[in-house]
Structure 1
């Protein structure tokens, strides 16, 4: 269920028998030739498809995250870490206040991981609640499927190139890009990062077959759904 397709009366009725909620976390940042909203699109879609048969409501995606390293790429929006942690705790405070007690964050952006620490700290102050932080793309089964198909994969490469993250009329390069030295890249400012990355792909092919992408997606949905059901 999408919260955007429910009214408050329906949510109140749901809370009489269940207290679970799913909150997708994304980002707005460069993804080479793919949409700037890749992380948000994927986090929200995997959350919705995973939760669909369970009846657990899915909130709208939090579409801005922590991504200071890409600020030399137009269209990127980065929140300060302290701002982001306050957003996470404000979301949790609001959900608890209205009756939710088990919350699954489905995260689609690596830079958002400080939010997991905020959630753990919040649980320490709210022992009657349970929060789980799920990085859907590198969860054990999903990432194993990625490596099975092609171990050379990372940000803005083929592993994020789904039919729903591509842009119409945009051709993808056909070569396999060598992996960037991530440790070296992290020592540069945003302008240096852009100089190193160029179009933005960390390394790997820019696109693989839809059959391979659907195989990954199927595993991701099953793995995420299992977390929702285990509550």
Structure 2
């Protein structure tokens, strides 16, 4: 009986300790649009290099702001293009919370703040790059309306957490990938074209090509081609989806990796 009583006390103490331990999850600031968003909103976001397209139906400007279940895989030091379509004379911004502190106002986190263009419906296009200093992992991306009918934003202009007039915002998850691990000799003897490519990729080298490996942006090997001891070869790629790929050219003098875009 005493043994059971002691065990009961130990279990009760353990339960008290466990329930007393705080569990933290990062909370995020949000911009506000007190004038409404029904007709002033984001309609589509695309990043063509990774085949990402996400659209917004009418009537979802508040109910579908949290899209963090949608994951976008990106690499560091790679040039990407973002296209954000807006309606009713509003512009946009894009930022990523690289230090995961719940806001997007730290240095280097605002990646796309285009100038307002006074059109009712406008697609804003611009380049962005994930810095090489960013560790692999998941980060929150925010896209929000600013300028035009949205206003400049207060108290901090252009902030992803400011108060605006008309508009809305949405959040995604960006998965920054581990860089491709290579132990290759750095060469400059090979070239590929066209880039971007539609169906047929041509590879020319000053050395004899032994094989060509095609990797996707996750570093997964998709194909291994074996030319017939030639310095030039073509690879047909009609089955690849649009995105960024790497061609690893293996020759009798070393290896070279070249990124290309499938459109």
> Could you tell me the TM-score, scaled by structure 2's length?
0.24
Q: Of the two structures, which has the highest relative contact order with CA contacts closer than 8 Å and spacing of 6 or more? A: 1
More strand by share: 2
More helix by share: 1
Q: Which has the larger radius of gyration?
A: 2
